[in-house]
Structure 1
C-alpha cells in the first residue's frame, strides 16, 4: 500500500470490530463461492456455508482481535484438498480486494498482512511452499 492510499484522517486507526470481520468474511466467501477457480474447491469441501462463515469469523477474530474464540486446526482441514499455489494467489487477491472495499485502508492493510502470513503457512503446511531458501536462491532437486 502506498502512502497516497493511507487516509489522512484517523478513521482507519479505529479498532477493528467483530461486526466488521463478519461482513468481510460474509462478502469474501460469497465471492469465493462463485469464483471460477476457487468456487469448485470450496463448494466441494463445505456443506454448511453459514456454519463455515461463523467458524471463520471466530478464526479471524482470534487472529485480528486476539479473542482466542477459534477452536480448530486449519492446517488439517486444508491438507486433503486439491489445492495448488495458484489457488492461494487467487484467494489472497480476492481477500485483498474485499478487505480494501469494506475496511478503512489501515485496517484493510492489516487484514491483508494477516492473510498473507496465514496463506504462506498453509502453503508450506500442505506441501506447496515456495521452493526457495532464505537468500532467495532456488533449491536444486538432487534426487
Structure 2
C-alpha cells in the first residue's frame, strides 16, 4: 500500500504541483512563438502614439523588458514558472494609466497574437491577456464597467 501523505522524491518540482500536471495551454505554443509575439507586440507599442509615451517613460532599455515579458508569457502559457515578479504592484503605481489604455493594449496584443501564432494558439494568448487586463483594471480602478470603488456611507435606497 502506498502512503499518499508523503510524495515520492521529485514528485513535486515546486509549489505549483506535480510536474506531470503542468502542461502548456496549447500544443502550438512554444518559446519561439512567445518570443515572436512579445517582439511583435512591443514593436507595436513602441510605435503607438497612445501607449508609446507611457511605456517609453519607464523603459530605457527594451531588451531586458522583452526578456521579462517572455518569462512572463512562458510562465502563463507553458507553466514554466520562470517569471517571479509582482506586476500588479508595479502597475498600481502608474498614475498616468487609464482604463482605456488597457483597451488599446488589448487591441495591439490581439493583432500580434493573430499575426504570429496559429489561430487556436492565438486565441489562448488573447484569452489570457483579456483576463490579465481585467484583473489589472479591477486592481487599479475598481470594478470594470462600474467605475472606481468608493468608500464611505452607503447611499440610502429611495
TM-score bucket (shorter structure): 0.7 to 0.9
Runs of 4+ in 1 over 2 A off after TM superposition: none
Question: Higher relative contact order by CA 8 Å / sep ≥ 6: 1 or 2?
Answer: 1
Structure of greater Rg: 2
- Alignment match, 1:112: 126
Pick one of 49, 63, 67 that aligns with 1:54: 67
Structure 1 distance, partners of 2:69, 2:131, is 16
Count of aligned positions:
123
Write the deviation string for residues 11-56 of structure 1: whole angstroms up to 9, x where unpaired. Answer: xx64310111011001100110110101100110112210000000
Structure 2 distance, partners of 1:37, 1:130, is 21
Output the TM-score relative to the length of structure 1. 0.81
Indicate the structure with greater helix content. 1
Coordinate RMSD, CA, aligned = 1.7
Matched, 1:103 2:131: no
Matches within 5 A, 1:38-117: 38-81=51-94, 82-117=96-131
Output the TM-score relative to the length of structure 2. 0.73
Where in structure 2 are there 5+ consecutive unaligned residues? 1-25, 147-153
Where in structure 1 are there 5+ consecutive unaligned residues? 1-12, 133-140
Mapped contact 1:120–1:129 kept (Cα < 8 A): no
